[in-house]
Amino acid sequence: MAVTRRSLLSASGALASAALVPSAARASASANGARMRRIAVEEAWSIPEHFKALAAVSEGDWNNLDVENVRLLGHGTGPIPINLLDTERRLAEMDSLGIDMQLLSLTSPGVQIFEIETAVALAALANDRLADVVTANPSRFGGLASFAPQDPRRAAKEMERAIHKLKLNGFIVNSHTGNEYLDEAKFWPILEAAEALGRPIYLHPRCPSDGMAAPFRDYRMRAAIWGFQAETGTHAMRLILSGVFDRFPKLQIVLGHMGENIPFHLWRSDNWYKKRASAYPSKLPPSEVMKRNFHITTSGVEHGPALRYTIEVLGAERILWAIDYPYEEMAPAVTFMNSVDIPEAQRSAIYHRNTERLFHVASATGHGGLL
């Protein structure tokens, strides 16, 4: 192969970038050729006022699964809280791994376990602070806005403010609110606002609602080991079967954790939908709703067979890269996405192109990112 000026330049660029990333990530990056922009979309973040409000709730004797998690977080001083609060520390690690950008969102359960006025005020404060973080580093951070589903009409107003005034990228909801789910008509102003604004709602996990909590109280099953996907997958399936996407056909929902197990069950859901179509309000079978109204992310699932299967079922254009920092570590997420055996066009779609399109993140313009 002839050595051109271009190949020399890209070779020297690869050497320069190699100094920035650890050896495991570097080896796979060079094996896959050109450096791709890396945007992670489910990245938890918080503010001291949020920790204060969480601490107040956790001091009571409320027998709630999320409160058990909140008690583990403590009062904002352990390693997870420090990583949630410290943007400089986060940026330094992003630099060392060649992570161009993170879309930040208020950590679960967000404002959804607070009484209504606290929740509304704290969501607005968190969104203001998040906008400050993004404004200070617009090429490195984007943001998903919080709102208080406890008051759907004020939530819709905050969603509008978050996009039009604060220029955030989308929204996050931590599954149920007061044991109620977004398919219920009282929440439709939220779905309507997201559709009208053309921005997705990230349906993020929290622990199972009271109605399904009992079996999850044993063996610490409430969280990532099983409870999160049981709760969040159930929420997503309620949305799918309820027919809300017949009413809001352009609404986009994002599920983390490789789709909260829905892709693996989808054939069976379709099969039973077809046998009993009149029993389900949705006009479309689950797989058609998934491929029209959902995207999924790789957060916390660094498993090649699961990703290749999900690409086959949903299409690579429906999949986004995510880390789930600081609950998961950045380095293995980068190593996985650099090295997983998929075509390079799919890798770049998942690493950044789908996110740029879905969350309205400006495309890198040559000098963007780290290189």
By beta-carbon proximity to Mn ion, the closer residue of 66 and 324 is 324
Smallest distance, Å, CB 204 to Mn ion? 6
Q: Give 42 or 195: the residue with its C-beta nearer to Mn ion.
A: 42
Q: With CB under 5 A as the contact rule, which of the stretches 131-139, 311-319, 320-328, 352-360 interacts with Mn ion? A: 320-328
Closest separation between CB of residue 224 and Mn ion, Å?
Answer: 9
Q: Are 168 and 144 in contact (CB under 8 A)?
A: yes
Residues 282-301 binding Mn ion (CB under 5 A) are none
What are 190's two structure tokens?
Answer: 């939220």
Per DSSP, what are the bridge partners of residue 171?
145, 201
In our burial notation (b when 16+ CB lie closer than 10 A, e otherwise), range 113-126 reads bbeeebbbebbbbb
Please state, in angstroms and rounded to a whole number, the distance separating the CA atoms of residues 18 and 260.
34
Count the site residues for Mn ion by CB under 5 A.
2
Of 76-84, 221-229, 322-330, 347-355, the window that binds Mn ion (rule: CB under 5 A) is 322-330
Give the range of 217-225, 228-236, 289-297, 323-331 binding Mn ion by CB under 5 A.
323-331
| CB of residue 125 to Mn ion, shortest distance in Å | 21
Q: How far is CA 196 from CA 145, 163, 252, 332, 351, in A?
A: 16, 11, 11, 37, 27
Q: Does 183 bind Mn ion (CB under 5 A)?
A: no
Nearest-CB residue for Mn ion: 324
Q: How far is the CB of 256 from Mn ion (least distance, A)?
A: 6
| Residue range at the interface with Mn ion (CB under 5 A); choices 2-10, 15-23, 280-288, 316-324 | 316-324
Q: Which lies closer to Mn ion via its Cβ, residue 195 or residue 324? A: 324
Beta carbon of residue 109, minimum distance to Mn ion (angstroms, whole number): 11
Confirm if 94 and 369 have CB atoms less than 8 A apart: no
| Least distance from Mn ion to the Cβ atom of residue 15, Å | 35
Residues with catalytic annotation? 324
Query: Is the CB of 174 or the CB of 269 nearer to Mn ion?
Result: 174
The binder of Mn ion chosen from 158, 302, 324, 328 (CB under 5 A):
324
- The least distance separating Mn ion from the CB of residue 108, rounded to whole angstroms, comes to 6
Task: Quote the CA–CA distance of 200 and 163 in Å, as a whole number.
Answer: 11
Question: Among the candidate windows 124-132, 244-252, 321-329, 337-345, which touches Mn ion by CB under 5 A?
Answer: 321-329
User: Using CB under 5 A, which residues numbered 28 to 47 contact Mn ion?
Assistant: 42
> Which lies closer to Mn ion via its Cβ, residue 43 or residue 195?
43
Which one, 208 or 285, has the nearer CB to Mn ion? 208
Q: Which is nearer to Mn ion, 195 or 328 (CB)?
A: 328
**Which residues contact Mn ion by CB under 5 A?**
42, 324
